[in-house]
Amino acid sequence: MMDAVNLLGFDLQGLAAYCEQLGEKRFRATQLFRWIHQKGAADFAQMSDLAKSLRDKLAGRAHITALPVISEHVSADGTIKWLFDVGQGNAVEAVYIPEDDRATLCISSQAGCAVGCRFCSTGHQGFSRNLETWEIIAQLWYAEHSLRQRLNTDERVISNVVMMGMGEPLQNYGALVPALRMMLDDHGYGLSRRRVTVSTSGVVPMIDRLRDDAPVALAVSLHAPNDPLRDQLVPLNRKYPIAELLDSCNRYLERAPRDFITFEYCMLDEVNDTPELARELIALLKGKVSCKINLIPFNPFPASGLKRSSNERVKAFADLLIQAGIITTVRKTRGDDIDAACGQLAGEVQDRTRVHLRMVRAPVVVQRGAASPSTPREGAAPASTANPPGPRP
C-alpha cells in the first residue's frame, strides 16, 4: 500500500486517465467514480458491477481512504463539527449545518492560512500547508456518507458546500478545482454551481481563473469599505485593493451561476460598524456591483483584541443598507456551544510561516470618513506618511 494511490484525489477525468493506465476502458472510471462518491464505497470487493479483474488490479494499486477523525462535536442545534488529522501535527475542521430547507457543509482548503485576517482565529494560527485534492474532498465524502448511515437514508444529505473553513481556497487553486469538479459532477455529488460557494479574501488573478475553470457561487470577504481600513483587517488588500477586487467581481459575474456576489462583512465593534462606514459601503457598492451583503457577528477570541458589535449596532448598520436597496442578511450563529461558528475554526496548525508573529496585535486604526491609504500597496515604496497602528480614536 506504500505507493498506492488514493482514488479520492481524482476527478472523473483524472480517474479515466488512471483507468487507461491500467489498460482499462475509460468508461470503467464512471462506474468506479459512482461507487466512490455516490455510494461511499471504500472496498473494491463491494463494487459488484466492476469486472473482477479490474477489482483485483485496483486492490493492489489503489485505495479509498478518508482522513482520520480526531474528534466530533454535536451541537444542541444539530450542527456537527469534525476535526480531521492531516498529519505532522496538523488538523483541519469541517462543519455540517442542517437547516429546514438545506444542509450545508463548510470545509477547509489549507492547514492554517497565510492571509492573516485580524478577526480570524485560523489566521492567527499561521499556515502549515495546502491540502491536497483528496484531503479536500475527503471531508465531504466522510460527512456525506457517515450522515447517510446515521440518518439511515440512501438519499443525498448535504445540499450545499461552502469553501469557508480553514484556509484561503484560491491560494490552493490547483487542488481546489478538481475538488470542485467532483462536487459538481453528476456522477459524483451532483451539486449545482449555485450550491457550491468559494469564499475568498480577494485573490484577484485567481478569481479570474475560477471564472473560466469552475464558475461556482462566489463570496468575497470584504469587511471594510475603504482601503486604509481593509489593509488592516485583510492584509491581502495591500496587494489587491478594493477597486481591483470589485473589477474582478464584475468580470466574474459574466459567468457566475448567480447574478450577485455575496460580500461577507464581519461586524467589529467601533471598527467597521459605524453609520458613516455603512454609508461609505453603500456608495462603494450600490449600482457598481450586483451583490448581497452578509453581516457576520464576530466571534471574539483573546488574541484578536477586537470586540463583537452589539445587536443594536448590527441592526442599525443593516437597516441603512436595506434602506439603500441593498439585499442584506445577518448570519445566524450556529454551533456556538461547540465553537463551530464562523471564524472560530481553529484546528491545529504547525505554523511554518510565522504568520502569527507578523500579525500586528495593536488596535485597528479607524479613520473617520474617506481617507487616503494609510499603508503602502505591496511592492510600492513605503510612504513617509504611512500611519503605524496606534490607539483607536
Length of the chain: 393
Is residue 123 involved in binding ligand SF4 (CB under 6 A)?
A: yes
Chain center to CA of 215: 15
Instruction: Please indicate if the annotation marks 356 as binding a ligand.
Output: no
Is residue 168 involved in binding ligand SF4 (CB under 6 A)?
A: yes
Out of 24, 93, 264, 280, pick the active-site residue. 93
Burial tier of 363 (Cβ tally within 10 Å: 0-12, 13-18, 19+): middle
Is residue 108 involved in binding ligand SF4 (CB under 6 A)?
A: no
Nearest-approach distance from CB 117 to ligand SF4, in angstroms: 3
Nearest-approach distance from CB 125 to ligand SF4, in angstroms: 9
Report the residue number whose CB is nearest to ligand SF4: 123
Instruction: Please indicate if the annotation marks 199 as binding a ligand.
Output: yes
Nearest-approach distance from CB 1 to ligand SF4, in angstroms: 33
Q: Which amino acid is at 253?
A: L
Is residue 97 involved in binding ligand SF4 (CB under 6 A)?
A: no
DSSP string computed for 30-68? HHHHIIIIIT----GGG-TTS-HHHHHHHHHHEE--PPP
Out of 38, 79, 122, 344, name the contact with ligand SF4 by CB under 6 A. Answer: 122
Backbone angles phi, psi at 42, to 5 degrees: -120, -5
Out of 54, 83, 113, 191, name the contact with ligand SF4 by CB under 6 A. Answer: 113
Return the DSSP state at 384: T
Say how far apart CA 131 and CA 172 lie, in whole Å: 8
Is residue 264 involved in binding ligand SF4 (CB under 6 A)?
A: no
Span near ligand SF4 by CB under 6 A; candidates 21-29, 160-168, 188-196, 243-251? 160-168
Instruction: Please indicate if the annotation marks 120 as binding a ligand.
Output: yes
201-230 residues in contact with ligand SF4 (CB under 6 A) are: 201, 221
Contact 167, 108 (CB under 8 A): yes
Say how far apart CA 242 and CA 364 lie, in whole Å: 18
Residue 167 or 225: the one with the smaller Cβ distance to ligand SF4 is 167
Residue 7 or 162: the one with the smaller Cβ distance to ligand SF4 is 162
Contact 279, 320 (CB under 8 A): yes
Is residue 375 involved in binding ligand SF4 (CB under 6 A)?
A: no
Is residue 126 involved in binding ligand SF4 (CB under 6 A)?
A: no
Instruction: Please indicate if the annotation marks 168 as binding a ligand.
Output: yes
Out of 116, 228, 335, 373, name the contact with ligand SF4 by CB under 6 A. Answer: 116
Out of 54, 86, 120, 222, name the contact with ligand SF4 by CB under 6 A. Answer: 120
Say how far apart CA 232 and CA 228 lie, in whole Å: 7
CB atoms within 10 A of CB 276: 12
End-to-end CA distance of the chain: 61
Say how far apart CA 148 and CA 48 lie, in whole Å: 21
Nearest-approach distance from CB 319 to ligand SF4, in angstroms: 26
Give which of 222, 245, 232 is closest to 373, Cα–Cα: 232
Is residue 233 involved in binding ligand SF4 (CB under 6 A)?
A: no
Nearest-approach distance from CB 60 to ligand SF4, in angstroms: 39
Instruction: Please indicate if the annotation marks 187 as binding a ligand.
Output: no
Name residue 74's beta-bridge partners: 80
Q: Give the residue carrying C-alpha cell 438545506.
A: 102
Nearest-approach distance from CB 296 to ligand SF4, in angstroms: 10
Say how far apart CA 366 and CA 276 lie, in whole Å: 11
User: In the annotation, is 342 catalytic?
Assistant: yes
Applying CB under 6 A, which residues contact ligand SF4? 113, 115-117, 120, 122-123, 166-168, 201, 221
Task: Provide the annotated active-site residues.
Answer: 93, 342
Binding residues are 113, 117, 120, 167-168, 199, 221-223, 299
